[in-house]
Amino acid sequence: MRLKAAAIAFLALGTAPFAVALDPYPVTGVSVDPKAGSVPLRQNINDLQSAGGAPWDLYIRALSAMQAANERDPLSYFQIEGIHGRPFVEWNGTGGQQSTGWAGYCPHGEPLFASWHRPYVCLFEQVLVSNARQIASKYPQKYRQQYEQAANNLRAPYWDWAADSTVPPATVPTTVEVNFPNGQGLQRRSTPNPLYTYKIPPAVLNGEFGTFDSEKRPETIRCPAPGTYPATANSNLASRPYKQWIYDAFTRATNFTDFAYMSNNVVSLEQIHNGIHWDAACGQQFVSPDLAAFDPLFMLHHANVDRLWAYWQALRPDQDIFNYSYKGLSRFATPGGTLISPRSPLTPFFAPHRVPLTTESVRSIKSFGYSYQELEYWKKSPAQMKQDATVLINRLYSTGSASRRSSPRGQPPQVRRYFAQVHLDRAEVEKPCQVNLYLDGNKAGSLVVMNQPADGVLTAGLPLDEVIQQSDMHAMSANETVNAINGTLTVVIVKADGSTIDITKVPSLKVDLEDVMVTKPVADDQFPKFGASRLRNVGVKHRHSLIETVI
């Protein structure tokens, strides 16, 4: 899998690679034998590591090969990960830089977020499997069929940070042992772990592709002192209710926009994704859209984002993508204000024959040679997949007072829940930052505001279940609870260095308190039902004396 010579010849020296590329690299998904009647499932990275054997050997070795490829190779790890943000150079013949602000290809803070990342992960997966197939062909004859079959079934693994909010153990050690060919047998060797870090090529740091990392860090890092990886990262992840957020998004969102992009009532998939970028590496490159993709956590993270979107699509096929036009934000080759629709190109990704991929053309995973557990579309009807996805989501993510499992027999299957609806104009705060909510001094919720987009409204509905259950408010009436929340809610906006932002300088900041009666599900293939809600404004207060430690 290599680009045509015309494309390769123009790649990546200076700022205009692919300028006259005649044959853009197509993102088609991994090729699958049509006689197979099925496609491989993407696996949880923890399951892939636990199983070991040929699939694990090939995954580690193929990822290592991508990272070792010359940075001028359009299919190297550097070039593919560099599509997301820096080095802000052209890829796949997509025209000169026309952005009017953010100059990465990735669209953040707009409805294209989910659909753009689907072909991006598929591109990575194609190249990963291509390398795995080449590596498998060099194993001794006795083992070759086993490794070749493993290569054909290999897909980009995902990190399910909602079901298990700890970083994958596979990303922790600096070295890993895998089986290499050794004559007619196998030899287990220790090799640098490609999931631990990515070493930035010296030519990149020296400016061959323009400005890259102003700090000139020679590799991606996570949780520097006084933090430690994984302990500090796991502590960060535990501080946010990712499981509850995901469950609320699946069960309460009523349309694609609310689920994937921005909502008043829940924390959307993109906003949840932002929290992972802050927490999993204690900031560092992983929280910066410019550099985040170079951390090996990135594709594990975004394969999971794609997976969750795929489940939403099975649950709500009538709301599987956005269905309107809007003025988009700035990105590479696309000036801010460009009219975006589901038929707009997902630059720089193409189907064969120079056909740009669009949200409409990537809406189905059936086109790309992979699937996920319970979405075996070749043997299930859409109704069966919807039911199976519902059961899986209940099993993995249901938690708290709205869960069927928390409803004792004989009690009415209803509970009143409270959400803090946060509204903020990103342009008014220094980014990245966290918007933290406290009730009576106890942390009640937290949102991450990324560097990108630079402006625009951010909204989210933060559930207050945990902090209410841990206080006297859980025994109060609805009106008493609302009054207690209104009297004790404070907001602290924390910058990356731990200092705070004076919220009097953030006039757009508003918090509304919502309470809603929720009917619990009575079966594992049902979701809770949200009734009518009441909304009241909460006076925003600032704890001036607080300085938080942010690692």
Q: What is the DSSP letter of 356?
A: E
CA-CA distances (angstroms) from residue 44 to 48, 168, 337, 373, 526? 6, 10, 38, 10, 25
Q: Indicate if the pLDDT at residue 253 is higher than 60.
A: yes
- 3-state secondary structure (DSSP) of residue 44: strand
Asked whether 322 and 111 are in contact (CB, 8 A), the reply is yes
Question: How many CB atoms are located within 10 Å of the residue 480 CB?
Answer: 12
Q: At what angle do helices 269-279 and 231-238 cross, to 10 degrees?
A: 150
Bridge partners (DSSP) listed for residue 150: none
Looking at domain 409-538, which CATH architecture does it have? Sandwich (2.60)
Residue 423: count of CB within 10 angstroms of its CB: 14
pTM for the whole thing?
0.93
Summarised one tens digit per residue, pLDDT across range 384-418 is 999 999 999 999 999 865 565 555 565 558 999 99
Q: Which two tokens stand for residue 237?
A: 């992840």
Q: Is the dihedral of CA 131, 133, 137, 142 positive or negative?
A: positive
Can you list the alpha helix ranges (DSSP code H) found in 202-283? 202-205, 231-238, 242-252, 256, 269-279
312-329: pLDDT as tens digits: 999 999 999 999 999 999
State pLDDT tens for residues 13-48: 322 333 334 689 999 999 998 888 899 999 999 999
- What DSSP string describes 203-217? HHHTTBTB---TT--
Cα–Cα distance measured from residue 415 to residue 398, given in angstroms and rounded to the nearest whole number: 15
Place of tokens 């519902």: 390
- The chain-wide mean pLDDT, for the chain, equals 91
- Is 3 a residue whose pLDDT tops 50? no
Q: Which helix (H) or strand (E) holds 389?
A: helix 382-397
Q: Residue holding tokens 């002192």? A: 225
pLDDT of residue 399: 84
Tokens read off for 518: 């929720």
Q: Contact, 416 vs 479, CB < 8 A?
A: no
Burial (CB count <10 Å: 0-12, 13-18, 19+), residue 545: exposed
Asked whether residue 262 carries a pLDDT value surpassing 50, the answer given is: yes
Read off the pLDDT of residues 455-498 as tens digits, 9 standing for 90 and up: 999 999 999 999 998 888 878 888 888 888 888 899 999 999 99
Domain residues of the chain, as ranges?
Answer: 5-13+39-209+226-386, 409-538
**Which class in CATH covers the domain with range 5-13+39-209+226-386?**
mainly alpha
**Residue range 118-164, pLDDT digits in tens:** 999 999 999 999 999 999 999 999 999 999 999 999 999 999 999 99
First-residue to last-residue Cα distance in the chain: 41
Cis amide linkage into residue 173, ω under 30° from 0: no
**Alpha-carbon distances, residue 152 vs 60, 376, 410, 439, 466 (angstroms):** 15, 18, 52, 52, 45
**Max CA distance (Å), the chain:** 76
